[in-house]
Amino acid sequence: MAGPVTPGPDARCRRAGGATVTGVTNPASPQVVVGDVWDALDGAKFQVTHQATGRRLLTGPAQQTIFLHGRELVGYRPASPSLLAQLAEWGIQPVASGNYPPPAGASDATEPYSALPQQPQAA
């Protein structure tokens, strides 16, 4: 591992020096889902700064931004490797909690979810 694993701002968030161990690389463990990503962003003090029809723009303490659908809409979907990599660049490592099961009949429960493309801000 490239560095020590240290606790993040809360128990649902780990920070690791470059290496990621999640359900994506270890299928026997629970997968990190979008709800876990939201938990980690909450723990890292990100706040919703804009919202529209199920979508949220979150801004972090160092002015990082990420555009996601609401936890209530896609919290059960697996986080994509690109989403996890984006968070890792900011030192945020979501941890699989098992707290976000898919709703009955969810046809997209195994489809990985990535952050939404951000729209340019009007001047």
Reported as a single tens digit per residue, the pLDDT across 95-108 is 999 999 999 988 88
Using the CB atoms, write b or e for 37-69: b if 16+ within 10 Å.
bbbbbbbbebeeeeeeeeebbbeeeeebebebb
pLDDT at 62 over 50: yes
Q: Give the relative orientation of helices 81-89 and 34-43 as an angle to the nearest 10 degrees.
A: 10
43-56 pLDDT tens trace: 999 999 999 889 99
pTM of full prediction above 0.85: no
Which residues have C-beta within 8 Å of that of residue 84, sequence separation ≥ 6? Answer: 20, 22, 24, 32, 37, 94
